[in-house]
Amino acid sequence: MSYHSEEPMGMSKAIASMVLGILALVLFLQLASILLAVIGICLAVSARRDGYTGGMATAGMACSIIALVLFAACVGCSMCSIGFGNWGYFCAPGIPPAIW
């Protein structure tokens, strides 16, 4: 009688992907969230390639993608609000730069 049970291939990568995705969501205003999210996406893809079909890989990928989108949206809004370089022109077309 054996009590040893093997975990499915890719399960540890899926767990790591989900943890990194959640961390990236919590820290989405930090630059570190980009690194966490990219690593989380890579681990989720790797877990799926290893044959893991559970929901943890999907959750990790979804959280990582949402964190990247939130970070990009915050950076875009910040650039528009402070008029970083010529970004202000794209955010307020038709208004001369001297006004905004």
All structural domains of the chain with their residue ranges: 11-91
More confident residue, 100 or 93: 93
More confident residue, 88 or 79: 79
Residues 17-29: tens digit of each pLDDT: 999 999 999 998 8
Query: DSSP string of 34-53?
Result: HHHHHHHHHHHHHHHHTT--
Q: Cβ contacts of residue 94 below 8 Å, gap of 6+?
A: none
Q: For the whole model, what pTM was predicted?
A: 0.77
More confident residue, 94 or 26: 26
Mean pLDDT check: name the lowest of 27-36, 58-67, 75-84.
Answer: 75-84
